[in-house]
Amino acid sequence: MASHGKRVYTLADVAAHSSRNDCWLVIGGKVYDVTKFLEDHPGGDEVLLASVGKDSTNDFEDIGHTKNARAIMAQYFAGEIDAASIPKKIKYTPPKQPFYNQDKTPQFILKLVQLLIPVTILALALSVRIYTTQST
Ligand code: HEM
């Protein structure tokens, strides 16, 4: 376990304490030295060790820790986190979609032509037949 000389730490400072023998966490803008708590954590030591080197606020809140958990947490307070050292959330940019033409007119015309060709041929054949039967 390290001494807590200074009170404001960067994320890099905290990340230097990421082992079972020296474990710091960042929760709600504060730094906690949970080394001595690892064994006693009801959720197990593995989850705490998996939360090192980053802002674990969301992990902590998602569990829905009780007031009791928050009271215990206070005992392990080591200092504040330098907010500027925490990377901002990466903005999600959706992948570019291929151009989609909503205008269906060209397809419609093509279908119409495809339908008209056999109909015209049929009409022509019928006319020829009618013409030839009449002339005989
Ligand atoms: C100093 C920090 C922490 C303290 C003092 C603490 C304390 C506690 C306590 C007292 C409980 C029992 C339930 C309750 O009273 O809420 C608990 C459960 C638990 N904690 Fe933490 N916790 C800390 C950080 C974390 C972190 C960072 C995680 C990461 C995900 C975590 C995950 C869990 C899980 C999974 C449980 C079990 C929940 C269940 O079985 O329903 N805890 N914790």
**Domain spans, the chain:** 8-85, 101-136
Per-residue pLDDT, 87: 86
* Tokens 């890099």 belong to residue: 12
Q: Please, which residues have CB within 8 angstroms of residue 78's CB and are 6 or more apart in sequence?
A: 4, 9, 24, 31, 32, 33
Strand blocks (E) in 10-124: 18-19, 22-27, 30-33, 77-81
Query: Does 73 contact ligand 1 (Cβ within 6 A)?
Result: yes
At the topology level, CATH places domain 8-85 in Flavocytochrome B2; Chain A, domain 1 (3.10.120)
Question: How is residue 52 written in tokens?
Answer: 């090192």
Per-residue pLDDT, 136: 59
Query: Does 24 contact ligand 1 (Cβ within 6 A)?
Result: no
Per-residue pLDDT, 29: 95
Q: Candidates 23, 25, 63: which one to mutate for ligand 1, based on the most atoms within 8 Å of Cβ?
A: 63
Q: Candidates 23, 31, 41, 73: which one to mutate for ligand 1, based on the most atoms within 8 Å of Cβ?
A: 41
Give per-residue pLDDT as tens, 89-108.
Answer: 777 888 888 888 788 888 89
Please state the pTM of the whole predicted model.
0.71
* Tokens 């708590």 belong to residue: 37
For the chain, list residues with pLDDT below 70. 1-6, 135-136
| Nearest CA residue ID for atom 24, ligand 1 | 60
Query: Does 52 contact ligand 1 (Cβ within 6 A)?
Result: no
pLDDT above 90 covers a percentage of the chain that reads 76
